[in-house]
Amino acid sequence: MTASSRLLLDAGSGGQASHRLVADLFLKHFDNPVLAVMDDAARLHLSGPVAMSTDGFIVDPIIFPGGNIGSLAVHGTVNDVAMLGARPRYLTAGFILEEGLDMAVLETIVAAMGQAARDAGVQIVAGDTKVAPKGALDKIFITTTGIGEILVDPAPSGHRARPGDAVLLSGTMGDHGLAILSTRQGLAFETPIVSDCASLNGLVESLITTLPDVHTLRDPTRGGLATTLNEIASQSGVVVEVEEEAIPVHPAVAAGCSFLGLDPLYLANEGKLLCIVPEADAEHALALLRAHPLGGNAARIGTIQEPQGKTRAGQVLLRTPLGGRRLLGMLEGEQLPRIC
């Protein structure tokens, strides 16, 4: 092992070593006209209302089937901005790096991040790097902020679910969470489990430009589908009822969850969205989702209801295959740490 194959503490000094790291690695993979100016801030061109979101990524392992912490950081932030009915345009990225990090691994992550940004049509226009002494953190943490122009008015929101609306899902649940867990624990299943990590902005734009009255969009990440549904039910003051048999789960994920005693409805996803639309738009929305490469397994999973009788606003009900109903609560605590 040579000294240059590992990240040195000097790379965070702000001096020549820092400049070499930025020029030789980050500018190489993130190159775009805005970033290339290298002023203290990026000059952006936006008009109208904008959506903005920030997120931190500490996933373990940092490279997993279907992606790595760099591509995950882009996908996660692009998706958060898109869920407000926006077209993501720009990202910023902050890197906290551990001294001694393998430079080849770092370049793999940065290259994947640059490619994910290009695929999503966004530019990484500003950033920062810090290097912490060995042992102060685990390899690499990334924080990203995204901004984009909102395309519809009113924008989709967790507050806009209405009784009678249809609840749609763009695909299978639990893929990312189980992919991370199985890689971390060295578990091998008969069918390899791969993260669903992907940017959904193209799918969202196709949906909202055709059906501008989409009431709610949300990507069910940490806490999974069950927690996301609870958040929406609470924000909108409604009851959500979903059919257990209608919720798509990949057979390999279902088998893995059964083996490990996990519920796929609480596992994280990084390339799926929840969509709530008026009943009149439900079939059209479902067809649009299924027509997109990232929505082939889209399904209608339930309806929004008015609280009445024994049901209360904010509740999520799961109708079982035998016809019974049970409450689907919000995730309590951390089922799987460091999954994003």
- pLDDT of residue 1 exceeding 50: no
Core vs surface per residue 301-324: b (16+ CB within 10 A) or e: bbbbbeeeeebeebbbbbbeeeee
Q: How confident is the model at residue 2 (pLDDT cuts 50, 70, 90)?
A: very low
Mean pLDDT of all residues in the chain? Answer: 95
Same domain, 139 and 68: yes
Count of positions (residues) in the chain: 340
pLDDT at residue number 170: 98
Q: Are 111 and 27 in contact (CB under 8 A)?
A: no
Looking at 84, 115, 150, which one is the last position of a domain? Answer: 150
Which CATH number belongs to the domain containing residue 207 in this structure? 3.90.650.10
Query: Strands 325-327 and 123-132, how do they pair?
Result: unpaired
Could you give the C-alpha distances from 203 to 103, 263, 298, 299, in angstroms and in order?
35, 27, 12, 15
Question: Can you say how many angstroms the Cα of residue 9 is from the centroid of all Cα atoms in its chain?
Answer: 31
Q: How many domains does the chain have?
A: 2
Domain that holds residue 123: 6-150
Cα separation, 86 vs 170, whole angstroms: 18
Tell me: the pLDDT tens digits for 28-75? 999 999 999 999 999 999 999 999 999 999 999 999 999 999 999 999
Tell me: the pLDDT tens digits for 237-277? 999 999 999 999 999 999 999 999 999 999 999 999 999 99
Tell me: the pLDDT tens digits for 213-242? 999 999 999 999 999 999 999 999 999 999
Same domain, 125 and 177: no
Same domain, 82 and 230: no
- pLDDT of residue 168 exceeding 80: yes
pLDDT at residue number 8: 93
Residue 339 lies in a domain: no
Residue 340 lies in a domain: no
pLDDT at residue number 286: 98
